[in-house]
Structure formats: structure tokens, C-alpha cells
Structure 1
Amino acid sequence: MTIDIRKTALATLAALSLVPASVAPAHALGKKDRAFIAGAATAAVAGVVINQMRNNGQLPFGNAQPRYAAPPVAPQYYVQPRATYAAAPAYQQPRYVAPSVHSTPAAQAFRELSPQMRREVQISLARYGYYSGAIDGAWGPGTSRAVEAYARDSGTTGQLGSVAGAYGILGGLTG
């Protein structure tokens, strides 16, 4: 029971070509109307032909299996890694932190002086050429460097290691 595709297609085209004439007079159809009817007829004919070929097993791609099928993939889940704890070192070498100019014995001795005496120390250091900052009576990096330079030049650097020795150096600058 093989059906000839050409005969079926021609018969369908012939039948559909008669439909527009019976629906409306030829002069009533516009250019777009005729194109629409021709497209609809072509689609109908192609549908009939493809269905017949599919039913008869004549289409090479109708029942064919795909050439490649990807293997099924198992779902992927994120697994957080386990934390591994290493033993902390038993002893860590302390980091060297330079002492602040405000924590030296000379700074402690300077802060215990009266505000007038602090300014006198800065005036004396400026007069000798060791200090060039503001005469404000405040201990800072400039005053610290000036006192250290004065002690170095006068040979009394060792006295800056104690508060009592720093009093002696500062006392020499106030009087």
C-alpha cells in the first residue's frame, strides 16, 4: 500500500487551486490575498505529504535515533572542605616596637616641670641651636631630638636613661 507522493501532491494542488475561485470572484482578491491562499495551500499540501511519508516510514529522520546522546549527569553539590587545624607554635618571638618619644625618662622628667620651666628648656635649646620648633612647653619629637643632641654633645647621654639623670640635664638648661 505505497502511495505515490507525486500523485498525492498534484491531486492536492489541483483541489486547492479550485478553492479561491469558488470563495470569491477573481477581481475581488488582492495581491496579498492571493499570496496568503497560495501559502496556505502549500502548507496544507506539505503537511499531507509529510504525514503520509511518516506513516509509511519513508522519512529518513522520522523515527531515527539521535547519533549522540549525552550520558546522564549526576547533580553536583558543593561540599565545604574540612577545616584542618595546625598546632600553634609554642613560642613566638615578640616583635620589636620602638619606644615612643613620650614614654622615655626624659619625657617623664620634662612633663613634671612647670609650664614656665618647660618653655625655658626649649628657649635654651633654641639659643644653643638644637631646637627650631615653637616655644610651647610641649614635649614632642622636636624637643626630644634637641635634648638628645644636647646630651650627646655635652657627654651626658647616659643620664637620659633614668628620670633622675634627665632632671639633671633639664635642670642645667633652665638655670
Structure 2
Amino acid sequence: MLNNLRTTATAIAATLSLAVALPAPAHAWGEREQNALVALLAAGAIGTLIVQNNKRHRAAPVTRSTVPTYTGPNYGTSRYGTPSYDTPRYQPPAAQPIPQGVSTTPAGRAFNTYSLSERRNIQSRLARAGYYNGAIDGAFGPMTYNAVMAISRDSTGADKLSTLGGAFDFYDAILRA
């Protein structure tokens, strides 16, 4: 405390001595020089007050007990299990069951009684309707059977192809269209 009082008194005495001693010969100076001297004295006095104020409000020294310590995050244990992957299994597309020997069905027997050009014409018309995408060869195989059953189901009903007469009526209608 005594040391702070002594420093403050010394600063005030120095400022007053400059304020009293310097302006004496300054009356011969111009107004600009006198204003500069006043500004210098004011800056010295303000600087002294700032230094003294900083000394008074200096923060207390930091001790080890007040230093915050870092603790890392606590992630805990994982809530998730080990990932597993099931290998996908091939699932064949669901198709209409094709009876063994499709050419022995009433639809196949009726189809095979037509001439080769008529059978190709039937396959061409099934392809144009979007039901057949095989070769236009005039053979009654699984693709032709599926196409005939699909178009029959969509138009007249598949039960018409269960008899030989119904199959002939069906193919005749396709050839006339």
C-alpha cells in the first residue's frame, strides 16, 4: 500500500513540475506550440492514471487449485452389436407353372394342327400385343404357352383353353383379328 502511495505521489509531482516549469518560457511560442505542450501534459497525466488504475485492478495470481483440468469425453460402451450381413439368395421369378409336355395340352394340340405360316402368324400377333418375345418359329414351346395363357387370361379367361374346341375358337379369333 505504501509503495502504491509513493508511486502515485511521485507521478503527480512530476506532472505538476512539468506543468509549472514548461509554460513559463512558452509565452513566446505561438498558439500551436502551446496547444501541443498542453496535449503532452494531458497525455502524461492520463497515462499515469491508467497505469495506477491497472495496478489496482490487477487479477489475483492463478494458483493450481483454480486451474480447470480437462477431462476427455465419456463415450461409454457401444449400444450396437456387430453388424452382420446375410448373403442374398436367388429367388426365381414367379411364373405360371408349365405342365410337362406343353404340346400335349389342348392349347398345344390345337396350335400344332395349324400350318406353319398360321402358327407364325399367331406368334407374331402375340408378340405385337406384348405377350410373346421369343422367336417367331411356329413351334409351341414354353414361351408360346405362357403368352397364350396370359392373353387368354386377360381377354376371355384361361378356362377356354382347357378344351380342344375352346382352343380352336381362341386361335381362330387371333387369326381373324
Relative to the length of structure 1, the TM-score reads: 0.41
In the superposition, the TM-score normalised over structure 2's length comes to 0.41
